[in-house]
Amino acid sequence: MNDYQLDRIDAELLNLLQQNGEYTYKELAVKIGRSKTNIVDWIKILKAEGYIDKYVALVNMQKIKSIFVAFPLIQLKAHTKVDIEGFKKDMDLFEEVMECYHITGNFDFMLKLLPQI
């Protein structure tokens, strides 16, 4: 990756996409005051540079009745960069893992787990 520096428009795009990942290029162009072509190019760059990782849907948990959410704390035996990155990569394999945080203190990770619906 290059030494791409975020500018004001990049920050606006990222904020808008975090608010609503379903905005069309045209809607984003109107909101930012740029052409649709510019928006497409900016988003391509943001994806290529790793600023946009993926698009997800946020589920309204109020609508889903009796869901159990667990927040287990994990302690690794080894703390090398390889072990830490490997653990994070392994957590991506489990659909139940909604979030994975590398934390400080007596534990190394905190997970947010949701059972499969």
In three-state secondary structure terms, 21 is coil
Per-residue model confidence (pLDDT) at position 58: 81
- Give the residue ranges of DSSP H helices in 1-117: 8-19, 25-32, 36-48, 81-91
Look at strands 73-74 and 97-102 and give their pairing.
unpaired
Q: Quick check: is 60 in a domain?
A: no
pTM: 0.57
Q: Quick check: is 40 in a domain?
A: yes
Q: Quick check: is 1 in a domain?
A: no
d(CA 84, CA 100): 11
Domain at 15, CATH number: 1.10.10.10
Q: What's the domain range around 39?
A: 8-48
User: pLDDT tens digit string along 15-33?
Assistant: 999 999 999 999 999 999 9
Q: Quick check: is 59 in a domain?
A: no
Look at strands 73-74 and 109-113 and give their pairing.
antiparallel
User: pLDDT tens digit string along 70-113?
Assistant: 899 999 999 999 999 999 999 999 989 999 999 999 999 999 99
- Number of domains the chain is built from: 2
